[in-house]
Copies of this chain bind each other. A is one copy, B any other.
Amino acid sequence: MSAQPMPELHGDFEAWTRERLARVERALGDWISTAAPAGSRHGAPAALVSAMRYAVLDGGKRLRPLLVLASHEAAARLGQACEVAALRAACSVELIHAYSLVHDDMPCMDNDVLRRGKPTVHVQFGEASALLAGDALQALAFEFLTPAAGSAVEPESIPDSVQACLCGILARAAGSAGMAGGQAIDLASVGQPLSEAQLREMHQLKTGALLQASVVMGAHCAQAPARVLAALKDYGAAIGLAFQVVDDILDVTADSATLGKTAGKDADNEKPTYVSLMGLQASRDYAHNLHAQALQALDASGLPDTATLRALAGMVVHRAH
């Protein structure tokens, strides 16, 4: 099966995306202050909460939360919907993503001063606050997944098995054999020639693990059966890798204004990329193939309605073309 044209339900998908984005933004805005009330006794200090909110709110495409919600909705057709779990999982993956950007931008890492068109967190709040805000955002992701007694969401509303499973998946996707591990390989790879296998390994950890976890967590929220989980895992792996290939393509083809960050940076830093390794056209073909793999996985899932997941795969890939 070859890659599909852009999905036909374009209008539906836009409406879906708009509504889900609004839901995620509202939840993030409400919960980051609710979970850490400024000024209250034993609450989080206001300055730290400000840096955390700055890092998370009003920015980003929210791809990971959209993947969680779409996966949950698709899987719920053969499982059991749990909206509250899905929304919490959606926000938790975004918190992990946001914390990784805060730390990644710091002077000892990429030393970036702009992110989403705004000064980065360490520029705005200082390095120490950026470090702590990132640390606190990682912890907050696990707070979101385990609602405490007395919070807006009662713990009983999400089955214990789902809470435990989501925490485990997220921790592994974020940790040393996931995102943090990928960043460590990235760090060590500057100026080093990498094989395609090594480059894929790095990206599967650095960005792929969390994108795939988003899809898998959504399915677990719906307590999806094993066959569905396996297929969605394959879908997540394919779009996770496609995302990075496209990112590398954009780094050489788009300008900084379009990207919202500094273009050509990877090439300048002598970081290995798909484009430097296989060339621009072969990179585009590769992204195309990964897109096709993602759609095949959806076909294999047996799920009756995968339109939104198909559209999200298209969104990941077509931002490059």
Contact = CB atoms under 8 A, between A and B. Distances in A.
A314 interface: no
Contact of A139 (B49, B138, B201): B138
B177 A42 contact: yes
A79 interface: no
A184 B132 contact: yes
Contacts of A139: 138, 171-172, 174-176, 178, 180
Interface stretch (A6-14, A103-111, A254-262): A103-111
Nearest to A51: B184
The A interface is mostly helix, strand or loop, or mixed, namely: helix
A176 B103 contact: no
Contact of A161 (B35, B126, B147, B160): B160
A267 interface: no
Contacts of A138: 135, 138-139
26 contacts: A35-B177, A36-B177, A41-B201, A42-B201, A45-B181, A47-B184, A100-B135, A103-B132, A108-B126, A108-B131, A129-B187, A135-B135, A135-B180, A136-B176, A138-B139, A139-B171, A139-B178, A139-B180, A140-B171, A143-B171, A146-B167, A155-B168, A160-B160, A163-B164, A164-B164, A167-B167
